[in-house]
């Protein structure tokens, strides 16, 4: 296996170039055909200024942060659960955030006027974030006893909580009217079209903090790959690593889902492709996942808004449509045993 691995500087360099290219494309390409360097040699209209600085730029930054956050969350979950199928959904964030969003969309009109006035147009993202957090806290309490967190209990409880949230969501969908149903469908498909500076200002600190905290978890996760008892003997504070990873995932996924809806797939595909390329060590896996996730989401988002311009595709569809065959092809080509 090791012989097939690629040198880390090559992988890192390639991902850097990919992110750079995606960034340039994201700033340059759009329905309006405006190029980012046009302000350098001509006066641009206020509308064109808005397209560059209030539409494309916050969207690029939000896409990069959300992509990095989702990919790193996936890598953390697979490391923590020592399971290649694990994704942020397992800690209940996905189900909780989804339920929060559905509550806001369907019952939004019935909420107290003061709450609606305070949240304004950000009612759905705020509820999604709160729902994700609430679900994570409940799961964590269920799985923890006497200072120990049982990963297996958390996994099972996560599935059960997901089913419960799904049932309540279904109940609300039954009560929803036609317009709300359409909003729910589109929310579930994910989109970065609503990106703007206020959303970025709210989500960026959480995502950046989450991303910066992950290097502290890398050594612990590597040791835990050998089993919790071994990690304890190696002097790793296992409980603190678990708590840190769960918090980081809840924060990053919650913020991502809140601002962009349901974008799946990144959390599974990105870490697996990278493990095939550079091996399972978290010290490199986590930062490179951030780089790859950011590049992939920014590139996919650029495609999403070009393919059917001036309308745009929900990005979740595009991620799975392109990502799934590519991932299958890589699996077939490498016939590799997936390491964690």
Identify which of residues 193 and 225 has a Cβ nearer to other proteins in the complex: 193
Decide: 252 and 210 in contact? Cβ < 8 Å.
yes
Pick from 70, 72, 87, 68: nearest CA to 22: 68
Nearer to other proteins, 34 or 286 (CB): 34
Which pair of structure tokens corresponds to residue 334?
A: 């490498």
Min. distance of Cβ 198 from other proteins in angstroms? 9
The residues of the shown chain that bind other proteins, judged by CB under 8 A, are 30-33, 46-47, 50-51, 54-56, 121, 177-179, 182-183, 186, 191, 193-194, 196, 199, 305, 308-312
Q: Which of 188, 198, 190 is nearest to 61 (CA)?
A: 198
Choose between 63 and 89: whose C-beta lies nearer to other proteins: 63
Smallest distance from other proteins to CB 253, Å: 21
Question: Residue 149 forms beta bridges with which residues?
Answer: 144
- Give whichever of 216 and 307 is closer to other proteins, judged by the CB atom: 307
Is 92:162 a contact under the CB 8 Å cutoff? yes
Choice between 134 and 193, CB closer to other proteins:
193
CB of 321 to other proteins, least distance (A): 18
Closest approach of other proteins to the CB of residue 313, in Å: 9
Neighbours of 275 (CB within 10 A): 21
- Which of 34, 31, 26 has the alpha carbon at shortest distance from 58? 26
Instruction: Report the Cα 301 to chain-centroid distance in Å.
Output: 14
Residue closer to other proteins, measured from CB, 101 or 288: 101
Q: Least CB distance from residue 101 to other proteins, whole Å?
A: 12
d(Cα 314, Cα 183) in Å, to the nearest integer?
Answer: 12
Of the two residues 71 and 304, which places its CB atom closer to other proteins in the complex?
304
The CA distance from 178 to 284, in Å, is 47
Q: Residue 59 CB, nearest distance to other proteins (Å)?
A: 8
Instruction: State the Cα–Cα distance between residues 106 and 184, nearest whole angstrom.
Output: 9
Minimum Å gap between C-beta 207 and other proteins is: 18
Residue 224 tokens read as: 């835990």
Burial level of 73, CB count in 10 A (0-12/13-18/19+)?
buried
CB nearer to other proteins: give 126 or 249.
126
CB of 169 to other proteins, least distance (A): 16
Between 186 and 327, name the residue whose CB sits nearer to other proteins: 186
DSSP codes joined into one string, 222-273: HHHTT-HHHHHHTT--HHHHHHHHHHHHHHHHHHHHHHH----SHHHHHHHH
CA distances from 304 to 38, 58, 314 (A): 23, 16, 7
CB of 50 to other proteins, least distance (A): 4
């Amino acid at each position: 296996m090791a012989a097939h691995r690629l040198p880390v500087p090559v992988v890192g360099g390639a991902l850097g170039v990919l992110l750079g290219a995606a960034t340039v494309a994201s700033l340059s390409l759009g329905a309006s055909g405006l190029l980012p360097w046009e302000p350098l040699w001509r006066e641009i209209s206020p509308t064109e200024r808005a397209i560059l600085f209030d539409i494309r730029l916050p969207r690029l930054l939000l896409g990069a942060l959300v992509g990095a956050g989702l990919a790193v969350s996936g890598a953390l979950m697979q490391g923590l659960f020592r399971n290649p199928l694990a994704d942020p959904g397992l800690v209940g964030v996905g189900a909780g955030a989804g339920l929060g969003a559905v509550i806001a969309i369907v019952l939004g009109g019935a909420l107290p006027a003061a709450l609606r006035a305070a949240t304004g147009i950000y009612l759905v993202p705020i509820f999604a974030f709160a729902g994700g957090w609430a679900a994570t806290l409940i799961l964590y309490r269920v799985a923890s006893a006497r200072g120990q967190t049982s990963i297996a209990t958390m996994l099972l409880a996560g599935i059960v909580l997901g089913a419960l949230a799904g049932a309540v969501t279904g109940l609300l969908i039954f009560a929803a009217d036609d317009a709300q149903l359409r909003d729910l469908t589109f929310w579930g498909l994910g989109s970065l079209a609503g990106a703007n500076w206020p959303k970025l200002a709210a989500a960026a600190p959480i995502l950046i903090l989450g991303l910066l905290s992950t290097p502290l978890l890398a050594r612990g996760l590597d040791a835990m790959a050998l089993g919790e008892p071994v990690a304890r003997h190696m002097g790793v504070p296992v409980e603190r690593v678990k708590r840190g990873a769960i918090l980081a995932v809840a924060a990053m996924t919650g913020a991502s889902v809140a601002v962009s809806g349901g974008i799946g797939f990144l959390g599974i595909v990105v870490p697996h492709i990278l493990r095939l390329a550079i091996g399972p060590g978290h010290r490199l896996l986590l930062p490179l996942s951030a780089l790859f996730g950011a590049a992939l989401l920014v590139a996919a988002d650029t495609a999403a808004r070009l393919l059917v311009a001036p309308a745009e595709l929900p990005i979740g569809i595009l991620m799975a449509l392109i990502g799934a065959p590519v991932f299958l092809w890589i699996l077939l080509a490498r016939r590799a045993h997936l390491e964690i």
